[in-house]
């Protein structure tokens, strides 16, 4: 049977435009071993591990006449040199230069005629570090059971032995007649499969919110994005969040930190912030199910629940803001269904790309009028990880902009720190660096009075 895309994946691909590329990804900072890390070594590691995520060598083929959903087929011209590329900064590259490069790379759509992913090795950073910029389409990431290529590149030790590179021979690509015959056979075998799968996909995004939610408040964050992006980052200490565990979960503290930064950013812009002002965040959370297929279970592990949370930016007291957000999150929680940080890491190894892919899918299924921004928080392991012997020092997620959104914020915790990645529209958020800096001030404000 053909490896056919699900209806939600198809609608997601169809909704993508040059102004709203919908890939997820991130920026990883690596500290190479004495032998260094060059693009040849990175390609070698990808070649050794890519068999674990076979869809990363497949591309989308559309069925003539739209007779059925498109299918994944092996890319007969698959070229690792196209997907894993080398670029660089003038040594020693600054954070501002690196962020500008990430913004440019993330502004362009992935080539639909090839497998929907790219990796860029960035050289020229200070302290002899290198960076990897990753792009993957959510349709690709979700389709492999919630496993991104980065998952299989990471090791627990720098001394992981290199494995034998498996031989890969692509299956012959079907012709137009083959695609139509196979689609017709599928329609005969499963005449209502498309309707039921579409219903399941829509239900997974939590669309019950549509009936109950009010329109999102007017805000400078509501803007039609152009073609160019800005990227900014913030790095904070996980211990600051743990100090506040008596007042809320780590995710509650993350949302309170974002709320405080948004309040300060609006005041910096001279915008009015009345006491009852709120901004609504779409907050995706992985929900309990079986483990993903790649880990011996089924695909129900890749579900996501979405909550619409009002961030009380009008409240000047940071502790009260945190209390209000914690209360809202508890009201949205489904007892026994949320997956804790440790469980999500056990299932996926490292969660950011997976949850952000699901977040993008969830955001696409809801009206842009219902929320002002997306905020994701995917926990990661609190131990060092390595890529081809190079230590992963920092990782900043990249969440795509939904239509009508000016900024999206991805968050992940890793090895004692909490990292924020801010994806922003070039014109609407020229001061995104200010918002990123205010995240540090916001978490400091929250923890000032903590024991």
**154, 189, 224 - which closes a domain:** 189
**Burial of 38: CB neighbours in 10 Å, binned 0-12, 13-18, 19+:** middle
φ and ψ at 142, to 5 degrees?
Answer: -65, -35
pLDDT for the residue 217: 85
Answer yes or no: do 15 and 153 share one domain: yes
- Is 279:221 a contact under the CB 8 Å cutoff? yes
Phi, psi for 428 (deg, rounded to 5): -75, -25
Q: Looking at the structure, tell me whether residues 166 and 257 fall in a common domain.
A: no
Judge whether 226 and 426 are in contact, CB under 8 Å. yes
CA 108, 115, 42, 345 dihedral sign is positive
Q: For residue 199, is it within any domain?
A: no
* One domain, residues 179 and 238: no
> Tens-digit pLDDT profile for the chain (451 aa)?
468 887 777 877 887 888 889 898 999 999 998 878 999 999 999 999 999 888 999 999 988 877 778 889 999 999 999 999 999 999 999 999 999 999 999 999 999 999 999 999 999 999 899 999 999 988 887 544 456 788 889 999 888 666 677 788 988 888 888 777 777 776 666 655 544 443 444 344 444 444 345 778 889 998 888 999 999 999 999 999 999 988 989 999 999 999 999 999 999 999 999 999 999 998 886 554 433 333 233 333 345 667 889 999 999 999 999 999 999 988 876 544 443 333 333 333 444 555 666 666 656 555 557 889 999 988 888 899 999 999 999 999 999 998 888 999 999 999 999 999 999 999 999 999 999 999 999 999 999 977 6
Residue 307 lies in a domain: yes
- Is 282 part of any domain? yes
Asked if residue 128 is part of any domain, the answer here is yes
Question: Could you give the CA distance from residue 341 to residue 285 in angstroms, rounded to a whole number?
Answer: 11
Structure pTM?
A: 0.86
What pLDDT, on a 0 to 100 scale, did the predictor assign at position 295? 29
Q: For Cα atoms 5, 9, 14, give the angle at the middle one, nearest 5 degrees.
A: 115
pLDDT of residue 81: 97
Q: What is the pairing mode between strands 229-237 and 417-425?
A: antiparallel
pLDDT, residue 362, reads 59
Q: Are residues 27 and 101 in the same domain?
A: yes
Domain assignment of residue 198, yes or no: no
Q: What is the dihedral of CA 230, 378, 23, 332, to 10 degrees?
A: -100
Q: Which pLDDT score is estimated for 211?
A: 37
CATH code of the domain covering residue 97? 3.30.559.10
Are 155 and 245 within one domain? no
167 secondary structure, DSSP code: P
Query: What residue numbers bound the domain in which 428 lies?
Result: 206-447
Task: Please tell me the predicted confidence (pLDDT) of residue 20.
Answer: 87
Of 189, 216, 247, the position where a domain reaches its end is: 189
- The predicted pLDDT at position 331 comes to 81
184 membership: H or E segment, kind and range: helix 176-189
Task: Report yes or no: 313 and 276 within 8 Å, Cβ to Cβ.
Answer: no
Whether residue 92 is contained in a domain is answered as: yes
Pair (126, 219) in one structural domain: no
| Domain's final residue, options 189, 221, 250 | 189
Is the same domain home to 177 and 216? no
Q: What pLDDT is stored for residue 270 in this prediction?
A: 95
Question: Which tokens belong to 242?
Answer: 């743990």
CATH number for the domain spanning 211: value is 3.30.559.30
Q: Are residues 220 and 349 in the same domain?
A: yes
Structure tokens at 384: 């060092």
Nearest of 86, 9, 55, 72 to residue 148 by alpha carbon:
55
In this structure, the answer to whether residues 399 and 438 fall within a common structural domain is: yes
Q: Domain count for the chain, please give it.
A: 2
Same domain, 212 and 71: no
Looking at the structure, tell me whether residues 246 and 158 fall in a common domain: no
| 17 Rama class: left (phi>0) / alpha (psi -120 to 50) / beta | beta
> Which of these, 439, 263, 423, 415, lies nearest to 350 by C-alpha position?
415
CA distance 352 to 348: 9
In a domain, 2, yes or no: no
Structure tokens at 412: 């992940």
∠ CA(310), CA(250), CA(219), 5° rounding?
25
**The predicted structure's pLDDT at residue 296:** 31
Of the candidates 438, 397, 425, the residue with the CA atom closest to the CA atom of residue 230 = 425
Does one domain contain both 363 and 438?
yes
* Partner residues linked to 396 by β-bridges: 27
């Amino acid at each position: 049977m053909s490896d056919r895309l699900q209806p939600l994946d198809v609608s997601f691909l169809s909704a993508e435009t040059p102004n709203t590329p919908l890939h997820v990804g991130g920026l990883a900072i690596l500290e190479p071993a004495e032998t260094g890390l060059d693009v040849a070594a990175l390609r070698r590691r990808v070649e050794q591990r890519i068999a674990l995520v076979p869809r990363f060598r497949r591309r989308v083929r559309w069925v003539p006449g739209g007779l059925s959903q498109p299918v994944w087929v092996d890319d007969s011209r698959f070229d690792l040199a196209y997907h894993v590329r080398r670029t660089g900064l003038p040594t020693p590259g600054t954070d501002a230069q690196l962020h500008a490069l990430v913004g440019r790379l993330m502004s362009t759509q992935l080539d639909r005629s090839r497998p929907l992913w790219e990796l860029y090795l960035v050289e020229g950073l200070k302290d002899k570090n290198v960076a990897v910029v990753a792009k993957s389409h959510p349709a690709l990431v979700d389709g492999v059971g919630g496993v991104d290529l980065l998952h299989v590149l990471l090791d627990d030790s720098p001394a992981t032995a290199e494995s034998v590179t498996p031989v890969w021979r692509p299956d012959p690509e079907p012709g137009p007649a083959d695609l139509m015959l196979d689609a017709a056979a599928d329609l005969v075998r499963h005449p209502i499969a498309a309707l039921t799968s579409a219903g399941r996909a829509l239900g997974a995004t939590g669309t019950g919110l549509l009936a109950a939610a009010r329109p999102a408040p007017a805000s400078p964050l509501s803007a039609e994005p152009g073609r160019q992006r800005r990227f900014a980052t913030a790095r904070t200490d996980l211990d600051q969040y743990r100090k506040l565990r008596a007042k809320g979960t780590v995710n509650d503290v993350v949302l309170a930190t974002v709320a405080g930064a948004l309040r300060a950013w609006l005041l910096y812009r001279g915008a009015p912030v009345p006491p009852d002002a709120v901004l609504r965040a779409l907050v995706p959370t992985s929900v309990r199910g079986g483990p993903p297929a790649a880990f011996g279970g089924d695909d129900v592990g890749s579900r996501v629940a979405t909550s619409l949370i009002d961030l009380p930016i009008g409240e000047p007291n940071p502790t009260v803001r945190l209390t209000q957000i914690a209360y809202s999150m508890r009201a949205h929680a489904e007892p026994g269904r949320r997956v804790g940080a440790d469980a999500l890491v056990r299932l996926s190894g490292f969660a950011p790309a997976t949850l952000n892919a699901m977040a993008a899918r969830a955001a696409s299924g809801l009206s842009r009028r219902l929320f002002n921004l997306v905020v994701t928080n995917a926990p990661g392991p609190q131990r060092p990880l390595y890529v081809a012997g190079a230590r992963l020092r920092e990782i900043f997620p990249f969440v795509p902009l939904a239509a009508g959104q000016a900024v999206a914020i991805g968050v992940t915790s890793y090895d004692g720190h909490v990292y924020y990645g801010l994806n922003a529209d070039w014109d609407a958020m020229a001061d995104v660096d200010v918002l990123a800096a205010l995240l540090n001030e916001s978490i400091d404000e929250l923890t000032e009075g903590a024991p």
